[in-house]
Chains A and B, each alone.
Chain A
Amino acid sequence: MFSHALEKIWTMSGFANLSWQSLIMIAVACVLIYLAIGKKFEPLLLLPIAFGILLVNLPLTGLMDEPPSATEPGGLLYYLYLGVKKGIYPSLIFLGIGAMTDFGPLIARPSNLIMGAGAQLGISCAFIVAILLGFDPKEAASIGIIGGADGPTAIYLTTRLAPDLLPAIAIAAYSYMALIPMIQPPIMRLLTTKKEREIKMEQLREVSKMEKIVFPIVVTVLCVLLLPSVAPLIGMLMLGNLFRESGVVERLSSTAQNALINIVTIFLGVTVGATAKAETFLRPETLMIIGLGLFAFMLSTVGGLLIGKFMCWASKGKINPLIGSAGVSAVPMAARVSQIEGQKANPYNYLLMHAMGPNVAGVIGSAVAAGILLSLFGS
C-alpha cells in the first residue's frame, strides 16, 4: 500500500515526466540566466525570458495551458501571454520608450533619418535569404525584422505573422542587441578610414520646446496616414514622447518611463520565454533563425555606415560616418558604440549626442519597416 502511494507520487511528479528535450531547454535557460546576471547581456529582458523558458519546460506545470473549459481556469502565463498575442505589451513598451527618448538630436539634424532608413538594409536582405532557405514569406518577414534591432517591434510583427517563431526571434533579437559592442566595431573599422573616424562634429543647434511638442504630432499623422498598420507602435511611441515634451503631465510621463515599462517588461519577458517549449524550440529552424538574425544585424550596420559615408562625402567631411551604425535602433547601446569607436580614433571626439539622432531615427525606421511588412503579408 505504502509503496503503491510512493509510486503514485513519483509518477505524478515532474521528475518522472522529464524528457531529454526539457533538460536541454532547462540548460539553455540556465545559460541565458548566466549571460544575464554574469555577463549583464540585456538583463532586463534576458532574465525574465530565461526564467520563462525554465518555468515552461518543467513538466506538468500547465502554466501556458488554455482553460480546459469555460468554468476552469487556464495557466497563469497563458493569461499573461494574451498581452503579447494581442500586441498590447510591445505597444506599451513603445509608450515607455517614447517617454524616455529625447528626439532633440533628430530634430536638430533631420537628415539623420536617412541613416535610420539605411540601417534597415538587413531586414530586406535577411528576408530574401530566408525565402531562399525555404521559409514562407510571413516567417521570412518576421526573421528579417531582427535586423531592425528593436525587440518590441520584432515581437509585435512576429506575433502577427509567424507566432510559432516568436521564442527564437525574440531571443535572437535581444541577444544580438546585447552583443552590439562585439558585432558592430569590426564592421565599423572595416568600412571607415581612420581619417573618417577622426572627424569631429559641430555641436547641434538648439531645439525649441515648441519643435519638440510638434514633432510627435507630425510623425504620428504622417506615419499613420501612410501606414495605418503601424499605428499601435508609432502612436504609442509618440504619445509617450508627447507626455515627456509637453511638460504638463509629469506624472503620466514618469509612470510611462518607469513603473509601466517595468511591469510590462516583466510580463513580456516571462511570457515570451514561456513560448519556448522544447517541442517548438528544438528544431533546425531555430539555428537558421539565429544565423539569419546575425546576418540581418550585420547588414543593417553596414547599411547605416554606408549612408553615413555618403553623408560624410555630401557634407564635405562634416559628418562622422561612425554615427551611421547607430541607425540600428538598439537605444542607446548603438550610439554608445559610435561614441567609443569615435573616441578611439580621436580622444577629443564626442559623438554620443550626434549618434542619438540616427539611433532614434532607427526606432522609427524599424517600426515603419514592420508596418510595411505587415501591410504586405498580414492577413
Chain B
Amino acid sequence: MTILDSLLAALFTFAMVFVVLITLMLLIRLTNYLLVLIMGKKANAQGGNGHV
C-alpha cells in the first residue's frame, strides 16, 4: 500500500464515519418529527419516562 493509498483510506474512513453518523442524526430528527406528527406532541411527551 502506497502512502497515497493509506492517506485515501484514512480519509475515506473518517469521512464515512461522518456520513453514517450525520445520516443517523437526520434519521433521529425525522423519527421524532414523525412521532410528533402521528401521536401529537402531548401524547409523545406523555410516553416519556422522565427527564434525561
Contact = CB atoms under 8 A, between A and B. Distances in A.
Given A137-B6, A210-B35, A204 B51 contact: yes
Nearest to A115: B21
Interface stretch (A62-70, A164-172, A367-375): A367-375
A364 B24 contact: yes
Interface in A209-239: 209-212, 214-215, 218-219, 222-223, 226-227
Contacts of A117: 17-18, 20-22
A132 B3 contact: yes
A110 interface: yes
B10 A127 contact: yes
A237 to B, nearest CB: 13
Given A208-B35, A218-B31, A373-B13, A113 B24 contact: yes
B14 A131 contact: no
A104 interface: yes
Contacts of B13: 120, 123-124, 127, 369, 372-373, 376
A128 interface: yes
B44 A211 contact: yes
Contact of B10 (A125, A206, A209): A125
A140 interface: yes
A206 B48 contact: yes
Interface string A299-334: 000000000000000000000000000000000000
A207 interface: yes
A208 B17 contact: no
A345 interface: no
Interface string B29-52: 101100100010000111111111
A212 B45 CA distance: 12
A219 B39 CA distance: 21
A42 interface: no
Contacts of A144: 10
Interface string A135-147: 0110010001000
B1 A137 contact: yes
Contacts of B18: 114, 117-118
A118 B44 CA distance: 31
A365 B21 CA distance: 7
A11 interface: no
B14 A222 contact: no
A168 to B, nearest CB: 21
Contact of B27 (A111, A218, A364, A369): A218
B47 to A, nearest CB: 4
A361 interface: yes
Contacts of A71: none
B52 A210 contact: no
A139 to B, nearest CB: 11
A222 B23 contact: yes
Nearest to B50: A206
Nearest to A245: B49
B48 A124 contact: no
A105 interface: yes
19 contacts: A110-B25, A110-B29, A111-B25, A113-B25, A117-B17, A123-B14, A124-B10, A131-B6, A137-B1, A204-B51, A206-B45, A214-B35, A222-B20, A222-B24, A223-B24, A364-B21, A364-B24, A369-B17, A372-B16
Interface of A: 102, 104-108, 110-111, 113-114, 116-118, 120-121, 123-125, 127-128, 131-132, 136-137, 140, 144, 203-204, 206-212, 214-215, 218-219, 222-223, 226-227, 353, 361, 364-365, 368-369, 372-373, 376
Q: Kindly list the 10 A-B residue pairs having the minimum CB-CB distance in the complex, ordered from nearest.
A: A104-B52, A124-B10, A131-B6, A208-B47, A110-B28, A110-B25, A113-B21, A117-B21, A124-B14, A208-B48
